Amino acid sequence: MPDPGSGRTPAVDAAIESELRLLDPDVRVSPELFGALLHPEFREFGASGACWDRASIVRVLMASKDPGTTPITTSRMRGVQLADDLVHLTFDTSDGGRRAHRSSLWRRTEGGWQLWFHQATPFDGTAGLSR
């Protein structure tokens, strides 16, 4: 049931909290913490155009010279609960001058909320937004 003041459900709040944890520099340098937030069937279509699964994204992030130590800022985060165990989030990020529209699907599992699917699309300041 949505919170009457915000229209958000506890599930949406939990997914947002989990998404923000994924962006936390302390989480991004730990394969255990980062991997625990990813569903075993995780897939991503990255802003670079690359396709990732759970093992490959953890491996690449941990091998990176900067595995997320640069702060990533978020804006316009919104969520919709699609089912009891599924939440869709949309938001924008800015990371060292790179900006992206992002879409995430979070699934509730026995271990908590885990990211099941993520897509990022780069954009610049001239890109308009339709509502």
pLDDT tens per residue, range 101-113: 999 999 999 989 9
Which comes out higher in pLDDT, residue 126 or 79?
79
89-97: long-range contacts, CB 8 A cutoff, minimum separation 24? 89/12, 89/15, 89/16, 89/19, 91/19, 92/123, 93/23, 93/120, 95/70, 96/70
Domain count, the chain: 1
Q: Establish if 98 belongs to a structural domain.
A: yes
Q: How confident is the model at residue 72 (pLDDT cuts 50, 70, 90)?
A: confident
Q: Establish if 130 belongs to a structural domain.
A: no
Q: What is the pLDDT of residue 97?
A: 81
Nearby residues of 74 by Cβ (< 8 Å), 6 or more positions away: 19, 20, 23, 91, 92, 93
What CATH number is given to the structural domain containing 61? 3.10.450.50
- Which residues constitute the domain of residue 14? 10-122
Q: Establish if 90 belongs to a structural domain.
A: yes
Q: Establish if 114 belongs to a structural domain.
A: yes
Q: Establish if 3 belongs to a structural domain.
A: no
Average pLDDT, the chain: 87
Model's pTM, two decimal places?
0.85
Q: Establish if 112 belongs to a structural domain.
A: yes
Residue in the structure block whose two tokens are 């699917």: 117
Q: Establish if 77 belongs to a structural domain.
A: yes
Q: What is the per-residue pLDDT across 84-95, written as a single tens digit (0 to 9) for each?
A: 999 999 999 988
Q: Establish if 4 belongs to a structural domain.
A: no
